[in-house]
Amino acid sequence: LAKTTQPISMDSYEGQEVNITCSHNNIATNDYITWYQQFPSQGPRFIIQGYKTKVTNEVASLFIPADRKSSTLSLPRVSLSDTAVYYCLVGAFGGGFKTIFGAGTRLFVKA
């Protein structure tokens, strides 16, 4: 299983773009990269998933370089409500995708 490394915490201000980078040096060919968001007293919520290059949805963008050894979650124009813990997961589908969470990145958005 590919191990992931993320910053423990990050601070930002409202309206700024936030980029959270995740390192996964031993990612396997079949592995996808998935990000979840967790608010206090709630379960994690799926944000975005990708395999290579760039993926964008209504919430965030995910940038994956060609070597796939890292990925960056980009949150455009954050608000106070984006204060949460963000988890980067790496794994393959089928045959037992082991959805293993690390400690995540605690993002604090200030006014």
Partner 1 sequence: EAGVVQSPRYKIIEKKQPVAFWCNPISGHNTLYWYRQNLGQGPELLIRYENEEAVDDSQLPKDRFSAERLKGVDSTLKIQPAELGDSAVYLCASSLGGNNEKLFFGSGTQLSVL
Binding site for partner 1 (CB under 8 A): 34, 36, 41-46, 49, 85, 87, 91, 93-94, 96-104
CB closer to partner 1, 34 vs 70: 34
Minimum distance from residue 86 beta carbon to partner 1 (Å): 11
Dihedral of alpha carbons 32, 87, 62, 49, sign:
positive
Q: Which is nearer to partner 1, 4 or 70 (CB)?
A: 4
3-state class (DSSP) for residue 82 = helix
With respect to partner 1, which residue has the nearer C-beta, 44 or 82? 44
Q: φ, ψ for residue 73 (rounded to 5)?
A: -90, 125
SS3 at position 80: helix
